[in-house]
Amino acid sequence: MFERLSRSWGLVKASGSVLMQDKQLLVFPLISSIATILVGACFILPMLGLGALDGLSDGAVDTGVYVVAFLFYTSQYFVIFFFNAALVGAAMKRMDGGTATVGDGLSIAMSKIGAIFGYALIAATVGMILRAIQERVGFIGKIIVGLLGVGWTMATFLVVPVLVARDVGPVDAVKESATLLKKTWGENVIGQAGLGAAFGLMTFGVILCGIALVIGAAFTKSIALIILAVIISIVAVIALALIHAALSGIYAAALYRYAIGGQQTSGFDPQILEHAFAQKK
């Protein structure tokens, strides 16, 4: 357990060293977050205004709602995958020893926009199918569908790096990502679990500190200090979320490069990556 936690922290530090070399990489998850909020507002607000969601409480859902939901899923996935591709592309350029600007990352993503949109369609379709099944099965069925969702997420973890690095379509990228997972990771997905656990603990710690800060400000009976404490806490949580997203993209890029040829990547200890790829015995 302690060895695994140590490796997880090592991955965080290694990914962080790449991020420290190019802090502009944080811009991509920031823009992605803003864009997803705007896309969500563009879909949800008109539907609320038209009363399209009124039937959800009694289970009477019009077919049009499913169509809009599919378009919503597709739009959200496209935004997320597009800026993730920009992040991964810029990170790969940095790992090659070059410099990468925000414009470079966006240019890389734009050059793959067709494949990214195709992958968004696939992801939206899978998401809609899993959700439709989950709504029609019992408790055990929901658990099984949830596991299928986790399996899909793991199998497609390297799709974006594949799309960025190679001139392939979304279907081939999904197949290659699944093949690389089977070939190199097996069941030992230390990267995702390590980063997730590390940032989960840090976020929990920040939330606790934020609560303590707000309580302390409340004792002063100063509205200004209370508002300031709340703002500081929210900004800290958002900052951690952005860093986590950036590090996940960097790690995915490094993982893909190692998977296709075991090549060393700037800022990463090869032994740490070897542990991440270790097959379970």
pLDDT tens string, the chain, 281 residues long: the values are 565 556 556 666 767 777 887 888 999 999 999 999 998 888 777 666 555 555 544 454 566 677 888 888 999 999 999 999 999 999 888 877 777 788 999 999 999 999 999 999 999 999 888 888 877 777 777 888 888 888 888 888 889 999 999 999 999 999 998 888 776 564 446 667 777 877 889 999 999 999 999 999 998 888 989 999 999 999 999 999 999 899 888 888 877 887 777 555 666 656 665 555 454 44
Every domain of the chain and the residues it spans = 13-201+236-276
The model scores a pTM over 0.85: no
pLDDT at 263: 58
pLDDT at position 274: 57
123/78 Cα distance (integer angstroms):
9
The angle formed by the CA atoms of residues 213, 214 and 215, to the nearest 5 degrees, is 90
* DSSP structure class, residue 189: -
pLDDT at 254: 79
Q: What is the DSSP string of 18-83?
A: HHHH-GGGGHHHHHHHHHHHHHHHHHHHHHHHHTTTGGGTTT---HHHHHHHHHHHHHHHHHHHHH
